[in-house]
Chain A
Amino acid sequence: MRAETLKGHLDGLLLASLETGPRHGYAIMEALRTGSGGQFDLPTGTIYPALRRLERAGLIRGTWSEGGGRSRRVYDLTPAGRRMLAAERGTWREFSAAVTALLEPAPQPVTP
Chain B
Amino acid sequence: MTSVPAIDTYLGEVAASIPGASRARDDVLAELRSGLLDAVDAHRSAGLTAQAAAEAAITEFGDPCQVADAFRPHLAMTQARRVALTLVATGPPVGLLWTAAAMASHIMLRDAPPWQWPGVPPLAPAAFPVAGAALLLTIWSALATIAATGTLTRWLPNRPRIAAATAATAGFGAAAADLAIFALLASQLTNAPGALAPLPVAAATAASLTRFTLARRAARKCLAIRATLT
Contact = CB atoms under 8 A, between A and B. Distances in A.
Contacts of B62: 43-46
A70 interface: yes
Contact of B77 (A29, A56, A59, A71): A56
A56 B153 CA distance: 7
Given A24-B38, A26-B38, A45 B154 contact: no
B2 interface: yes
Contacts of A56: 74, 77, 149-151, 153
Given A26-B38, A30-B42, A73-B31, A44 B74 contact: no
B71 interface: yes
B171 interface: no
Interface string B6-18: 0000000010000
Contact of B74 (A27, A45, A49, A71): A49
Given A46-B62, A52-B28, A72 B38 contact: yes
Contacts of A24: 34-35, 38
B154 A58 contact: yes
Contacts of A97: none
Interface string A1-43: 0000000000000000000000011110110000000000001
A53 B31 contact: no
Contacts, number: 86
A80 to B, nearest CB: 7
Interface residues of A, number: 25
Contacts of B99: none
Contacts of A53: 73-74, 153, 158
Most chain A beta-carbon contacts within 10 A, residue among B2, B30, B31: B31
Given A49-B74, A57-B151, A58-B154, A70 B37 contact: yes
Chain B residues touching A, range: 20 to 34
A54 B127 CA distance: 44
A43 B74 contact: no
Contact of B61 (A43, A49, A80): A43
A45 B31 contact: no
A84 B42 CA distance: 31
B70 interface: yes
B28 A71 contact: no
A23 to B, nearest CB: 11
Interface of A: 24-27, 29-30, 43-46, 48-50, 52-53, 56-59, 70-73, 80, 84
22 contacts: A24-B34, A24-B38, A25-B38, A26-B34, A26-B39, A43-B62, A43-B66, A44-B60, A45-B70, A46-B66, A48-B28, A48-B31, A49-B71, A50-B70, A52-B74, A57-B151, A70-B2, A70-B34, A71-B34, A72-B34, A80-B151, A80-B154
